[in-house]
Amino acid sequence: MRFSSVCGAVAVALVAGAAVAEGADTVVATVEGRAITLGDIVAVRAELPQQFQMLPDEALYDGIRQQLIDQTLLARAAEADGVADDPTVARLLAMQRLNLLAEMQMRRVMAEALTEETLRAAYEERFVNAPPPQEVRASHILVDSEEKAADLLAQIEAGADFADLAVEHGTDGTRFQGGDLGFFTRDMMVAEFADAAYAAEVGATIGPVETQFGWHLIRVTDRRERPVPPFEEVENQLAQELSSAVLQETMGALRDGKTVEIAEDRPGIASLRDDSLVAFP
């Protein structure tokens, strides 16, 4: 390989390496000696509403950078004018610090607790190793009176088609599917409906059954054990459930042995909605 070719390859590699090496501390602007970094831009971008996330990268980058420049100029002016010493501003700054530190600590705790390993262990316990719940598939016709339901039941027993009657007389959205409710577990339905459906044989039409929604005729069309869902399908659900448990456990441990004094008579509650207490300027 010729020397010039080697130099060219090295130059390309150095340029590529520089691009890869850009990180949160990469300076994108300075304002009176105060650096604005790539990390600042990314932090602002991450909190933007979705419609702004759809902007082209160049427009998003330039817009956020200009915003940070303007904010830095305003903040410097505020510092020069002693705004940070105002009691209201100091209180707001302290509250923002409190909120941010609490959020970051909880994120750290959740990241350590909700690993793929713990989520998969919960998946095994909850879905793979546990006895599968029984599901029933049923159709129904919902009407507003017992007499109407009894009349429809007589028509069905005389040979009328259940689905056709559901389309014609049903009063809820399932009428457009011939009354089909799909598969459900007992806890997904109100107690009266679930008890009746789970007690019926496949193929049987039962009713009228009264619930808070009206009067039902119910036809059970199938039974099965609920299939085990793929891990990816329930991963978010498991994370939400585990995060609630982690939150309770974490706060319980933090409260243990700590001194927390709460005023019993809610001092100042009469001024709870008095915004003038924190107005600025």
Tens of pLDDT, residues 151-167? 999 999 999 999 999 99
pTM: 0.63
- How many whole angstroms separate alpha carbon 172 and alpha carbon 140? 10
Tell me if 152 sits within 8 A of 219, measured CB to CB. no
Question: What DSSP element (H or E) covers 223?
Answer: strand 214-225
- How many whole angstroms separate alpha carbon 125 and alpha carbon 77? 58
Task: With a cut of 50, list the residues of the chain below it in pLDDT.
Answer: 1-20
Q: Which two tokens stand for residue 246?
A: 């982690």
What pLDDT sits at residue 132? 87
Domains by residue range for the chain, with CATH:
23-81 (1.10.8), 134-225 (3.10.50.40)
- How many whole angstroms separate alpha carbon 113 and alpha carbon 107? 10
What pLDDT sits at residue 8? 45
What pLDDT sits at residue 86? 94
- How many whole angstroms separate alpha carbon 48 and alpha carbon 54? 10
CA distances from 182 to 107, 137, 223, 269 (A): 39, 5, 11, 51
SS3 content of the chain, % helix, strand, coil (to 5): 60, 15, 25
Three-state secondary structure call for residue 215: strand
What pLDDT sits at residue 255? 93
What pLDDT sits at residue 252? 94
What pLDDT sits at residue 21? 56
